[in-house]
Structure 1
Amino acid sequence: MHSAKFKRWLMLVCAALVLAAGMPAGMGAVARAETAVQLGVSAGINGEYKEAGMVPVQVKVSNAGPDVEGDLVVATGNQGNNTFSVAYYQPISVAQGASKKVTITVPGSEIRPDSYVALMKNNQVLVQTPVGGRSVPADTLMVGVLAEDPDTANFLGVLPKASFSNEVRVLPMKPEQVPTAGAQLRVVDLLVLNNFALDTLNEQQIQAVRDWTRSGGMLVLAGGAQYSKTAGALADLSPVNVQGVTQMQSLASLAIDKNKPVELNAPFTVSTSTLKNNGKALFSEANQPIFAAGSAGEGKVLYAAYDLAAEPVASWAGNSRLWSEVLTKAFGSSLKTYRGSFMDEVWPLSQASERIPALKIPEVGWFALFFGIYALIAGPILYYILRIKRKQSYMWAIVPILAVVTGIGIFSFGAMQRGTGVLVHQTGYVEVKGDGQANAHVVTAMFVPTSGDYRVTIAGQGQTQPLVERSRAEAVPTIWASLQPNHTDVDFRDVEFWSMRKVATEQTVADAGAFVSGLSYENGLLTGAVTNKTKFALKDVKVISGNQVQSFPEMAPGATLQVKLSFQPSAQLQLRPGQIQRLSSLILPQQAAGNSYVYENTREQSMVQVLETRRGAAMQAVQVMIAGWTSDPIIGASVKGQEIHTDNLSLVTSDLSIKPSKGGSVFYPPGTLDVVMTGSNVPVKDNGDGFIMPAGDISFDVRLQPEGKKLQISTLYLYTWSADNTPFDKQVYNWKTKAFDAYDKVFANNTMDIGKMGAYVSEDGILRLKMSHAFPDERHIGIPNVSVEGKVINP
């Protein structure tokens, strides 16, 4: 009887175990709360975002029940079967009857259709809702608008496709949608401030707009009579000093299409201003700038003297055509908004970070010694001893024990080499700018000796995210990330011993310094001094001009190098993709030669691939630049409660400007002059280094007057190319006859001499080109390479 009861009990236990095993993974981690807690979610700006960059997810938590606290989580990186890679979170507590608004910033590339926002406590989901939102194409121009009238900039959404081929999305914003970090504002490409009280933003938000602009953003400041309150604390970024207001009786200068003039039925209010040193008037009326542009760090700022919502200009039929011209003149090639994914930019650094020097395999000689001793003892020595003792049968026990001891010895030797602490290896790529700042991409790899939970803290603001192996996904993620104003915490849970975890970040280094260039071109040589005013101590330094390289063993902070390189304009001109020698072979010539038949790159070669990716286009690859290696840490990284052993390696680069020689002679190589597509009679597709187009024509404007300089051009070099070698018909605009002339009439051997400049270069330094083909299929036309020789007559 007892036996029968025991059998029934055993069967019930087994059945329960079978049912438990058959439950979907993570079921026990989900415990729905009452609907007393409600979540309202909006991703990006009004539900729209681009995958490139960080996306703010705004969450409103409303609580009609008892007090609740936990973690507000955005689960990202859906790998299928309701499993996720990373939880981006913020702790939250909401009292009964209250509501809170929280913004959690997540990588746009990790938002999937099944990504969700949840309120969790102790890994249990209390309530959840989908993230939602809509991802737009990467080349879309996202325009954020802060204005009293939400319809202020709607005319930007209907720019003429013939001159602006990319889609434009105009997104009215509310003050609470402005993030507190510049990297988080990358959800927009262009930001318009018009008749807006800037002081409704807090200091962190205003600083975020400033940081975003200086790191490459496009900012529009407008407002007319309300300009002062609009610009506010950002007035120093403006290209003008505003003094007051006046009334205009005419705006004839704005009528690009003479058939569509601006008809004023009353005086029109504009702000009065004077240009700053870096400002340039684009359109003026009665000697007053109506539009002016200038630079702010790596970014650009456009000033408009009137309220963009003011009539009759706001509804004027020529308004969109005017703004197409204004944006092109103000921002140029910056309007090419396509940006690769964050992972595309850091994956070479991720590969390099895995090559931790402290994790090198012990030398073969040590293994040979261990196994030699083992073989000697386990073989003849042990056999001889046991034979003398007549205990040969002991071999069956002693040999396995000896094998275990040898294995433990080898393991201990390897562990001793790796140490007992956490190994942190940081690999980075740093682009030093001319304004004292630098753009840094860094991957921090952590190798742990024991299993457990680890928190990695990355200091500073920026885009920071853990790098996840695609196989790592759980119903409740084991990687949790929290982005704070001045740092990011990444928690890696249940980490296996002797395993690696990685975190990538892109940040602006505010105190990087700069390289001061005294280089000048004359008589076929590039000569002069380059001084390291950065904080980085460099080794294996290269000064590169096209395929010409000069090497230096080191360059300490404050040190000066004397450069002397052969520099022929005609040789520079025709360098383009497929013709440029790989930068890895220029920066690492010995490794490139020794690695010819090895398929696995070295750590340094992997890192140089970041540079090749970012400067692969012809217009970027041939600029004069400096590159060197530093072991200084770029971004602060720590592991909570752990002793860490660090190793750092970063590639530091910077473009080097070319100054006029003593006689005023100067040469601007390809890539230093802005080339902008200004029109086409057929739809075109921007592919980064050029355009894909069916039969038809496309026009380019080349700006031959760099900012702040007036050039007397003696020789102009032009090289056009096509990735598929399509023979395009080429024409050059004659500013005197107002018509296009055949290319061969203007250029000889890709060169225009000084005698043709008056007709084919406008007073404000514009060379206009038109190219066309009549083939039945789509063809590629590359962005033209243009360089000039001349003298600076108005520096």
Structure 2
Amino acid sequence: MKLYRLWPHIQQTRLHATSILKHLLQRGTLLLIPLLLSLVLAQPAFARQVTSYSASSIQTQRVADDGPVISQATAGFDSRFHDGNWVPVTVTLDNNGTDFQGMVAVNVPSSPLNNNGSTSVYQVPISLPSGAHKQITLYAPFTFDSPGTVQNISVNLLNTSGQTVNTQLASLRTLNAGDIFVGVLSDQSNNFNALSNVSLLNTSSSVIVQPLNATNFPDNSIVLRNFDLLVLDNFTTASLSPQQLNALQNWVAQGGSLIIAGGPEWQHTFNTLPSTLLPVTPTGTATLPGGTSLLPTGSSTSNGTNKVGSGITSSLPISTATLTTGTAVLTSGKTPLIVQASVGQGSVVYLAFDPTLDPVYSWTGASILWKSLLFRTVNEQTLMNTQSINSGIVPAIAFSSKPVNLNFSGLLQLLLNNSPPAIWFILVLLLAYILILGPVRLFLVRLLKKRDWSWRITLITIVVFSLLSYGLALQQQGTSIQSDNVTIVQLNGQNIGNTLAHITSFQGVFVPNQGDYQLHLPQASFAQPNDSFYGPGLASSTTTFQSSSSANDITLHGVNIWTLRSIVTERDQTIQGGITSHLSIANNTLQGTITNTLPYGLTDAFVLIGDQYVSIGNIASGQSTQVMLQSLNGYPTSNTPLAQQIASADGQSSNYDPYGQQPQTEVQRHLSILQTLAGNTVNSTYCVNGTCYTQASSVMYNGTAPGFKYSSVTLSGGPSMMQFHQYDPLTIPNASATLIGWANSAQSALTGNVTINGNAASGHQETLIQAPLSVSTTGSFMMNSALFHSKVINVVGTNTQAVSDGIYTMNGGSITYEYTAPGLARIHGNMLTLAEKSTLLQNAPIVTGNSSPLADANTLQVHVYNWQKHTWNAFSFSQFTLSISNAQPYISSGGRILVQLSNQNSSQTALFNKPLLSLQGSIQ
């Protein structure tokens, strides 16, 4: 067929196709537009990019040999540290080239247990003029999760473009889980061989002595947590800066242990020391005669008996002093030789002699003396055995001492403001949709007399209501940056004026879009990631921390859409005002007043003592309130933690579930936070070989013993579970009572105005105040076990082990406890009661293999020291308790009670807790 004959057909086909295309465009335009809009809205907008020095984007740049270099980089204390702590990284830099501006950066990989591939980069700005030689120290947290291993960390010098100019490696070694790390401030640090040679129960662990001086002593308490014990002996304390002295004081108040040695050179050691760290008032010097024993009653001698060993071989110069606080555990006449005092959550031991000088240094009992001092200071860590003993019970787990509580990631996720739309709004939207598609559409078609508009109205209605539904869903998930914050303020003491406090903040950042985000914290603090499996998108992510003397700038790199990132910060701070108390116990009733001198009021406040509590409601700033708690227990009788008791009394769930229902009210948020701090969460259990441990938050405990950061432990092996607490996680160790309350109006004063990408973010801000309270006794009373300070002072045998804080196993041998309390020397004791938990054995793990059978505390032999006859009197438990009707002979003139438990049957292993002691008596 010729082409001109086909042309009419082609033209007709073209016109028909054009008509169809126009028709489709007319009918489809309205559909295409909302679809395109939906795609645009659904596509996440990229957040503003923030310039930073990301480890993931570091490019290596070759420089000339005469440029800036890192000549040396060291980490830790002679490369050693306790795993999970902040360590100092000291960097020496030289610049033989032109002036240089840049950053020193330390790369910190994530914990192997998290295994998410994330990296943290800690940076400080550096300025190196030509010819400069400079040394700087920055701090970074490291967790190897592998005791006794060595790793190399990268220290990079970056230019202003983020390129690597120079790199040095620094080795870092984790101490063994049972090692005791002792920092020594002494002008003669070579005479501590007797301390280094102390043998521990775990033969694979050692006492590591680390010499310190004014140059390498940290200026913050957080880095000092690497040490289990500090010794101050014949040291020029004036060489320490005010910041270093404050760090020492805060470290002790937060749980550290300090030994202060006097002797003939006591003045240059004591003169500039904070008065709160001295339990005595020095008066001069004197001389002890030869033959004087330096071992307190209850200490062991080399042959394993409980008899005090022979004394020193010659005269000994000592410092004289009068007792101001604490208990004199050894005296010579009226001169205290060894004094132990509680300072906040920690302890201080004063020695009137210098153990590094003869005749003590060469004395055969020197190592026994140091071992006795270790029991009094690091205490139960000396019983930490990382090897399984024949009980078959899992040894104590060396949890990290850093205050990261992964449960807070789930809590912050739960606190996000993502409430669903109101039911009435959804009903109105649905009704409007039906009305428009039905009556309204028909009315418009008839009114306009255009039937072809029916489908247009239908299509427009579908598109509009689809967009509305999409918008509601977007609002439900979140369209703006949210930042929830939970802050815990732990006061170090009672003061009307300024009070030292340790502040820990958990900051959750929820972002609706993908990109980089910069978090600005206006308070200088130690910050680190607290992300966990609750939040997606953490794999291979990088977080950059840049600190200064007044603020922290944190860059979250490559954050995925709708992701929660969690940061934890902590710092020491002096705050205005405080909490003071005038409480006393009489006739089994706690009563008195509490005064709030903080510049902000407290809400939902409680007073906690032992395993009991009383609500005191709200306390305004400057206000005093009455407290009364009747029927006070002599010792804890409940296995229910205080957080669960408070929640149950309010009708709330006794366990917080991070995947559960969102708290709807302020009270519910407070209860969720308390239960998270106490470890009462559904997902807070850590299991090893079938034995499960419930972890209380280490936020509430800032001590230094890495094996015992968590006070609650759940042993599972049967159909039931039991929790035992030496201290309830909400109470402050060493405090007679504890106050907790919420001070939300104080948020800006304590944390400042936090910004994200330069803008303030919305979210919940909660602040918990925790303060120690003092309690006295008057008239006739029962002295609650919470008022006693107890510690292990001696162990005989090698098969005694602390499986958790306050829970022990023993296969042969003995363990001796010392109990002290304020004013105990003035008390006339009528009845002394010792009690053991009756549920330990039936809830212990199932023992398999060749383990010896478990026995309960009723099988133990009990001896209590009689100070009048200087003998150990024998007793026994009956139904897990024993009572001594005439208690006075068992209270020393210095206010000490000694209790010894022994298991002479080596064919069985006793499982028991530290005896709970209560005393009925009156003030003399």
TM-score, normalized by the shorter chain, greater than 0.5: yes
Higher relative contact order (CA 8 A, sep 6+): 2
Deviation at 1:486, TM superposition (A): 4.4
From 853, 862, 875, the equivalent of 1:743 is 875
Q: Does 1:618 align with 2:735?
A: no
User: Do the aligned partners of residues 590 and 293 (structure 1) sit closer, same or farther apart at CA in structure 2, a change above 3 Å counting?
Assistant: closer
TM-score normalised by the chain length of structure 1? 0.82
User: Do the aligned partners of residues 224 and 520 (structure 1) sit closer, same or farther apart at CA in structure 2, a change above 3 Å counting?
Assistant: closer
Aligned residue number for residue 279 of structure 2: 239
From 250, 254, 257, the equivalent of 2:290 is 250
**Residue type of the alignment partner of 2:256:** G
State the identity %.
22
Contact 2:406 2:532 (C-alpha < 8 Å) held by counterparts: no
Q: Does 1:506 align with 2:540?
A: no
User: Do the aligned partners of residues 483 and 716 (structure 1) sit closer, same or farther apart at CA in structure 2, a change above 3 Å counting?
Assistant: farther
Matches within 5 A, 1:261-300: 261-264=311-314, 268-270=316-318, 272-278=319-325, 280-285=327-332, 288-300=335-347
Q: Does 1:370 align with 2:429?
A: yes
Aligned residue number for residue 3 of structure 1: none
Query: 1:563-601, CA deviations, whole angstroms, 9 ceiling, x for partnerless residues?
Result: 34332545x4444xxx23552332463342598999457
Aligned residue number for residue 29 of structure 1: 58
**Residue type of the alignment partner of 2:652:** A
User: Do the aligned partners of residues 552 and 226 (structure 1) sit closer, same or farther apart at CA in structure 2, a change above 3 Å counting?
Assistant: closer
Contact 2:199 2:206 (C-alpha < 8 Å) held by counterparts: no
User: Do the aligned partners of residues 356 and 759 (structure 1) sit closer, same or farther apart at CA in structure 2, a change above 3 Å counting?
Assistant: closer
Aligned residue number for residue 157 of structure 1: 196
From 107, 114, 119, the equivalent of 2:157 is 119
Aligned residue number for residue 360 of structure 2: 313
Contact 1:184 1:463 (C-alpha < 8 Å) held by counterparts: no
From 619, 624, 628, the equivalent of 1:555 is 619
From 531, 547, 553, the equivalent of 1:489 is 553
Contact 2:327 2:339 (C-alpha < 8 Å) held by counterparts: yes
Contact 1:75 1:116 (C-alpha < 8 Å) held by counterparts: yes
Contact 2:613 2:642 (C-alpha < 8 Å) held by counterparts: no
SS in structure 2 at match of 1:696: coil
SS in structure 2 at match of 1:252: coil
Deviation at 1:778, TM superposition (A): 5.4
Query: 1:453-489, CA deviations, whole angstroms, 9 ceiling, x for partnerless residues?
Result: 54334355654323235665687x6421134344433
Matches within 5 A, 1:32-431: 33=62, 36=65, 37-63=69-95, 67-78=99-110, 83-95=117-129, 98-109=132-143, 113=151, 115-121=153-159, 122-138=161-177, 140-161=179-200, 167-222=206-261, 224-234=263-273, 236=275, 237-250=277-290, 252-254=292-294, 257=301, 260-264=310-314, 268-270=316-318, 272-278=319-325, 280-285=327-332, 288-329=335-376, 340-341=399-400, 346-356=405-415, 358-378=417-437, 381-382=440-441, 385=444, 389-391=450-452, 392=454, 394=456, 398=460, 401-403=463-465, 405-407=467-469, 409-410=471-472, 422-431=481-490
The separation in 2 between residues aligned to 1:38 and 1:546, in whole angstroms, is 54
Contact 1:240 1:273 (C-alpha < 8 Å) held by counterparts: no
Deviation at 1:517, TM superposition (A): 3.5
Aligned residue number for residue 628 of structure 1: 741
From 818, 840, 851, the equivalent of 1:702 is 818
Deviation at 1:739, TM superposition (A): 5.6
Unaligned runs of 5+ in 2: 1-53, 302-307, 385-396, 664-668, 680-695, 701-710, 713-723, 843-854
Contact 1:90 1:482 (C-alpha < 8 Å) held by counterparts: yes
Contact 1:85 1:468 (C-alpha < 8 Å) held by counterparts: no
Contact 2:832 2:883 (C-alpha < 8 Å) held by counterparts: yes
Contact 1:253 1:285 (C-alpha < 8 Å) held by counterparts: no
User: Do the aligned partners of residues 496 and 569 (structure 1) sit closer, same or farther apart at CA in structure 2, a change above 3 Å counting?
Assistant: closer
The separation in 1 between residues aligned to 2:824 and 2:204, in whole angstroms, is 29
User: Do the aligned partners of residues 72 and 283 (structure 1) sit closer, same or farther apart at CA in structure 2, a change above 3 Å counting?
Assistant: same
User: Do the aligned partners of residues 714 and 65 (structure 1) sit closer, same or farther apart at CA in structure 2, a change above 3 Å counting?
Assistant: same
The separation in 1 between residues aligned to 2:809 and 2:154, in whole angstroms, is 40
Deviation at 1:179, TM superposition (A): 1.9
The separation in 2 between residues aligned to 1:534 and 1:708, in whole angstroms, is 32
The separation in 2 between residues aligned to 1:611 and 1:28, in whole angstroms, is 40
The separation in 2 between residues aligned to 1:379 and 1:120, in whole angstroms, is 67
Q: Which moved more, 1:125-134 or 1:287-296?
A: 287-296
The separation in 2 between residues aligned to 1:325 and 1:677, in whole angstroms, is 6
Which has the higher Rg, Structure 1 or Structure 2? 2
User: Do the aligned partners of residues 691 and 556 (structure 1) sit closer, same or farther apart at CA in structure 2, a change above 3 Å counting?
Assistant: same
Q: Which moved more, 1:624-633 or 1:398-407?
A: 398-407
Unaligned runs of 5+ in 1: 1-24
User: Do the aligned partners of residues 680 and 353 (structure 1) sit closer, same or farther apart at CA in structure 2, a change above 3 Å counting?
Assistant: same
SS in structure 2 at match of 1:132: strand
The separation in 2 between residues aligned to 1:184 and 1:594, in whole angstroms, is 36
The separation in 2 between residues aligned to 1:123 and 1:297, in whole angstroms, is 45
Deviation at 1:407, TM superposition (A): 4.5
Contact 1:478 1:492 (C-alpha < 8 Å) held by counterparts: yes
**Residue type of the alignment partner of 1:527:** Q
User: Do the aligned partners of residues 71 and 310 (structure 1) sit closer, same or farther apart at CA in structure 2, a change above 3 Å counting?
Assistant: same
From 559, 580, 586, the equivalent of 2:646 is 586
The separation in 1 between residues aligned to 2:812 and 2:754, in whole angstroms, is 57
Aligned residue number for residue 605 of structure 2: 541
The separation in 1 between residues aligned to 2:359 and 2:109, in whole angstroms, is 49
Aligned residue number for residue 18 of structure 1: none
The alignment covers a number of residue pairs equal to 756
SS in structure 1 at match of 2:789: coil
SS in structure 2 at match of 1:213: helix
Contact 2:824 2:895 (C-alpha < 8 Å) held by counterparts: no
SS in structure 2 at match of 1:314: coil
The separation in 2 between residues aligned to 1:531 and 1:601, in whole angstroms, is 34
SS in structure 1 at match of 2:143: helix
The separation in 1 between residues aligned to 2:908 and 2:406, in whole angstroms, is 35
